[in-house]
């Protein structure tokens, strides 16, 4: 029997606002427990929530970035459940009328054989809500503490249609979404702090069947690796279960990375169990068209557009362009380095070649690069105008990397890297090389192209690597043709 996997993701993205979604308490991470929790977050009687404008602005940004409908009117609801880290016994969320409706996300998926394909999926909605607090085990022996610093931090929950068809697609979507929310500046995307976490809804059905199978929801996956592993395990479990005549029971499950398995947490509650109703403390959220247009005007260029520009205007290959836009700080580094160059491909090759190789070897991120984008730009300007050759460019790059200097022109001078572009000097070097290597000349004349490269190598060596290689090639060919 052939099976088809069906996945829909619900992603909680923490919005990077200064204060919480309904109170003025700080939303920053890592403070002493319960020092960033005000009476509103503690749900003391008589408190009233006030909506944070910046959280709404970020929801609008997201809606525009995925080409969704930003609702002119949406409503905050109370979602009731009891949990020790939720003092109000309800979470303020949006249910029937969310702030963002529809939209789509495109991403590249890699096949097992390394080839790739493009996929676009539809989003159902994105809504604003508050986060709960945190139960802290083990600080006081045998007891559990409650830290309400996180209670009330703003979240955007982003829900996809059930259109993902493999764990690879789910991970590729989640990565694209992760990059997008950071790209448009609505979240820091810090997964270690739980600021980007996914719930995966997974079902299977025999290939060709129209109806969906019964799904399970795996909660709180905060790494791409766990997301992939949890889905893979769940797919195997469901197929095995059905193949043995069993039935999948709709349930909420948790992934246990230590044992690489999912375990049932609770059988699935229906939305009616939450007794949703509009929060009487909050007015409906009204967003005017003018506000939406204001936000649109402040949006950065979106990744898809940047990609098209890199390919069509700069002539960069699609694969290279995809790599350069995979992370916005990398894109910005590239754009800055390429700013003064006519041929942007030179910067593209350097960034994805030398720069990435050195950063990877040193385990540094692009933001931590010892060679700034401006410095790389200066190096490449000198390479492009013929002052230094490729080897000289590498030497300057290493010198700045190793903190032997920070000014490109000074380094070219002190390290003696100026390339010899004086035709007379190059001709003299070539004449000497030809005279000293009659055998190589013979070989070249009998058709061995390799001998030509060897002669170029000899000439470069004779000039201590400073000759302009293009000139060496040209003059050498001319002399050999005589
Ligand atoms: P709930 O809000 O109760 O979790 P929703 O109907 O809103 O349920 O769906 C939540 C997520 O589950 C969505 O991402 C949706 O695409 C996905 N989903 C719905 N049905 C299935 C299914 N049969 N298999 C896999 N995913 C599903
Ligand atoms: Mg759900």
Judge whether 22 and 152 are in contact, CB under 8 Å. yes
Q: What is the DSSP letter of 367?
A: G
Token pair 């004449």 is at which residue?
Answer: 431
Helix (H) or strand (E) holding 7: strand 3-14
Q: What is the three-state SS of 271-317?
A: HHHHCCEECCCCCCEECCHHHHHHHHHCCCCCHHHHHHHHHHCCCCC
d(C-alpha 212, C-alpha 203), whole Å: 7
Going by their DSSP bridges, the two strands 216-221 and 251-256 should be labelled as parallel
Q: What pLDDT digit, counting tens, does each position of 268-292 carry? A: 666 668 999 999 999 999 999 999 9
Record the tokens describing residue 447, joined without a space.
């058709």
Which of 162, 218, 220, 267 for a ligand 1 pocket mutation test, highest count of atoms within 8 Å of Cβ? 162
Residue nearest to atom 2 of ligand 1 (CA): 271
What is the number of the ligand closest to the CA of 269? 1
Q: What's the CA-to-centroid distance between 216 and ligand 1, angstroms?
A: 9
Record the tokens describing residue 250, joined without a space.
């709709």
* Paired residues of 217 in beta bridges: 201, 252
Directed axis angle between helix 449-462 and helix 469-481, to 10°? 130
Q: Which atom of ligand 1 is nearest to the CA of 203?
A: 24
Which of 121, 160, 177, 201 for a ligand 1 pocket mutation test, highest count of atoms within 8 Å of Cβ? 201
Tens of pLDDT along the chain (482 residues) come to 899 999 999 999 999 999 999 999 999 988 999 999 999 998 899 999 999 999 999 999 999 999 999 999 999 999 999 999 999 999 999 999 999 999 999 999 999 899 999 999 999 999 999 999 999 988 888 899 999 999 999 999 999 999 999 999 999 999 999 999 999 999 999 999 999 999 999 999 999 999 999 999 999 999 999 999 999 999 999 999 999 999 999 999 999 999 999 998 877 666 668 999 999 999 999 999 999 999 999 999 999 999 999 999 999 999 999 999 989 999 999 999 999 999 999 999 999 999 999 999 999 999 999 999 999 999 999 999 989 999 999 999 999 999 999 999 999 999 989 888 788 889 999 999 999 999 999 999 998 889 999 999 999 999 888 888 888 999 999 999 87
pLDDT of residue 469: 87
What is the number of the ligand closest to the CA of 276? 1
What is the number of the ligand closest to the CA of 125? 1
Q: What's the CA-to-centroid distance between 128 and ligand 2, angstroms?
A: 14
* Paired residues of 110 in beta bridges: 116
pLDDT of residue 140: 81
Q: Where are the alpha helices (DSSP H) in 111-263?
A: 167-183, 224-243
What is the number of the ligand closest to the CA of 124? 1
Does pTM surpass 0.75?
Answer: yes
Q: What's the CA-to-centroid distance between 150 and ligand 2, angstroms?
A: 21
Residue nearest to atom 1 of ligand 1 (CA): 271
d(C-alpha 314, C-alpha 329), whole Å: 19
pLDDT of residue 271: 65
Q: What's the CA-to-centroid distance between 448 and ligand 2, angstroms?
A: 69
Judge whether 82 and 89 are in contact, CB under 8 Å. yes
pLDDT of residue 335: 97
Q: Which atom of ligand 1 is nearest to the CA of 9?
A: 14
Judge whether 71 and 99 are in contact, CB under 8 Å. yes
Q: What's the CA-to-centroid distance between 42 and ligand 2, angstroms?
A: 25
Residue nearest to atom 7 of ligand 1 (CA): 159
Q: What is the DSSP letter of 200?
A: E
pLDDT of residue 273: 83
Q: What's the CA-to-centroid distance between 237 and ligand 1, angstroms?
A: 19
What is the number of the ligand closest to the CA of 159? 1
Q: What's the CA-to-centroid distance between 384 and ligand 1, angstroms?
A: 54
Residue nearest to atom 5 of ligand 1 (CA): 159
Q: What's the CA-to-centroid distance between 252 and ligand 2, angstroms?
A: 9
Any residues with Cβ below 6 Å from ligand 1, and which? 6-10, 159-162, 201-203, 212-213, 215, 271
pLDDT of residue 311: 97
Which of 3, 94, 159, 209 for a ligand 1 pocket mutation test, highest count of atoms within 8 Å of Cβ? 159
Record the tokens describing residue 29, joined without a space.
């991470």
Record the tokens describing residue 225, joined without a space.
């690796």
pLDDT of residue 423: 84
Q: What pLDDT digit, counting tens, does each position of 109-138 carry? A: 999 899 999 999 999 999 999 999 999 988
pLDDT of residue 306: 96
C-alpha angle 114-119-123 in degrees, rounded to nearest 5: 140
Q: What's the CA-to-centroid distance between 270 and ligand 2, angstroms?
A: 10
Residue nearest to atom 17 of ligand 1 (CA): 8
DSSP codes of every residue in 414-471: HTT---B--HHHHHHHHHHHHHH-HHHHHHHHTT-HHHHHHHHHHHHHHTTT-B-HHH
Q: What's the CA-to-centroid distance between 345 and ligand 1, angstroms?
A: 44
* Paired residues of 91 in beta bridges: 79
Q: Which atom of ligand 1 is nearest to the CA of 213?
A: 23
Q: What's the CA-to-centroid distance between 96 and ligand 1, angstroms?
A: 15
pLDDT of residue 268: 60
pLDDT of residue 269: 64
* Paired residues of 126 in beta bridges: 100, 158
């Amino acid at each position: 029997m052939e099976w088809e996997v069906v996945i829909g993701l619900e992603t909680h993205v923490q919005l990077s606002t200064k204060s919480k979604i309904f109170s003025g308490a700080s939303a920053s991470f890592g403070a002493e427990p319960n020092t960033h929790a005000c009476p509103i977050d503690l749900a003391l009687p008589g408190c009233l929530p006030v909506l944070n404008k910046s959280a709404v602005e970020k929801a609008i940004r997201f809606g525009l970035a995925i080409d969704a409908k930003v609702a002119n009117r949406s409503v905050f609801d109370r979602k009731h459940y009891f949990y020790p880290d939720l003092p109000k016994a309800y979470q303020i969320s949006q249910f029937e009328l969310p702030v963002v409706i529809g939209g789509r996300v495109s991403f590249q998926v890699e096949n097992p054989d390394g080839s790739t394909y493009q996929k676009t999926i539809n989003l159902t909605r994105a809504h604003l809500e508050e986060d709960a607090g945190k139960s802290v085990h083990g600080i006081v022996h045998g007891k559990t503490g409650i830290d309400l610093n996180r209670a009330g931090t703003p979240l955007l929950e982003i829900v996809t249609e059930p259109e993902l068809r493999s764990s690879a697609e789910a991970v590729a979507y989640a990565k694209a979404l992760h990059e997008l929310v950071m790209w448009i500046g609505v979240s820091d995307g810090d997964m270690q702090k739980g600021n980007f976490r996914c719930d995966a809804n997974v079902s299977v059905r025999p290939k060709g069947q129209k109806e969906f199978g019964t799904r399970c929801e795996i909660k709180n996956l905060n790494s791409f690796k766990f997301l992939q592993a949890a889905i893979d395990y769940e797919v195997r479990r469901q197929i095995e279960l059905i193949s043995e005549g069993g039935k999948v029971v709709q349930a909420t499950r948790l992934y246990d990375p230590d044992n690489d398995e999912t375990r049932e947490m609770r059988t699935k509650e229906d939305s009616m169990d939450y007794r949703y109703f509009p929060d009487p403390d909050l007015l409906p959220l009204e967003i005017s068209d003018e506000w939406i247009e204001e936000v649109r005007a402040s949006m950065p260029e979106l990744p898809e557009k940047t990609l098209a520009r890199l390919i069509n205007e700069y002539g960069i290959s699609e694969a290279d362009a995809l790599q350069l836009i995979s992370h916005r700080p990398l894109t910005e580094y590239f754009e800055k380095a390429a700013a003064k160059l006519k041929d942007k491909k030179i910067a593209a090759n350097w960034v994805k070649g030398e720069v990435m190789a050195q950063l990877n070897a040193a385990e540094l991120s692009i933001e931590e690069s010892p060679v700034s984008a401006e410095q790389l730009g200066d190096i490449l300007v000198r390479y492009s105008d013929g002052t230094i050759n490729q080897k000289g460019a590498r030497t300057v790059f290493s010198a700045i990397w190793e903190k032997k200097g920070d000014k490109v022109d000074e380094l070219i001078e002190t390290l003696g890297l100026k390339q010899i572009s004086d035709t007379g000097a190059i001709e003299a070097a070539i004449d000497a090389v030809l005279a000293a290597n009659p055998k190589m000349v013979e070989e070249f004349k009998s058709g061995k192209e390799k001998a030509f490269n060897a002669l170029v190598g000899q000439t470069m060596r004779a000039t201590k690597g400073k000759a302009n290689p293009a000139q060496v090639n040209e003059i050498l060919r001319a002399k050999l043709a005589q």
